[in-house]
Structure 1
Amino acid sequence: MSGELLPLGRSGFPQVLNTEDTATLLGISPSTLNCWAARREAGEDVGPPFRAVSGKVRRWLLDELLDWLDGQKR
């Protein structure tokens, strides 16, 4: 991963991942993740939930990402 994940600090802020780190964690390309995010913004229920920080800058919360991944069991 491009950035080292740090544990929660005293502030209680969750771990936040960028596109590259999220894609790496999921084993997909950043372009696939961005495609899913665009479809999610359009109202489809595809891909993990994210936060739009500004413009096309998106961030994923690690806890939400892991919850979403856990829900993908078949």
Structure 2
Amino acid sequence: METLLTNKTASLTELRDPKKVIEQAGDRPVAILNRNQLEGYFVPASAVEKISYEAATSADVQEALRKRRKLIQPTLDYLRDK
């Protein structure tokens, strides 16, 4: 089973009424499920407003890429030929 990044969930059917999902979510993201499979996350604006952002330096980006190199290498190989 996939690990969800939030403890609130809703189905695609429930998302037909997004206002209701937002009200129930409060300030938390909601995992959207389709037949118990994660489709994505619905994040209310109130949740985003609480997040503080800090620009990444070039060194930060290079370090993150270095750490994920094994995982992203197949994608890099594919894109090299395009």
What TM-score, normalized by structure 2, do the two folds share?
A: 0.21
Larger CA Rg, structure 1 vs 2: 2
The higher relative CO (CA closer than 8 Å, separation ≥ 6) is in 1
The answer to which structure has the higher helix fraction is 2
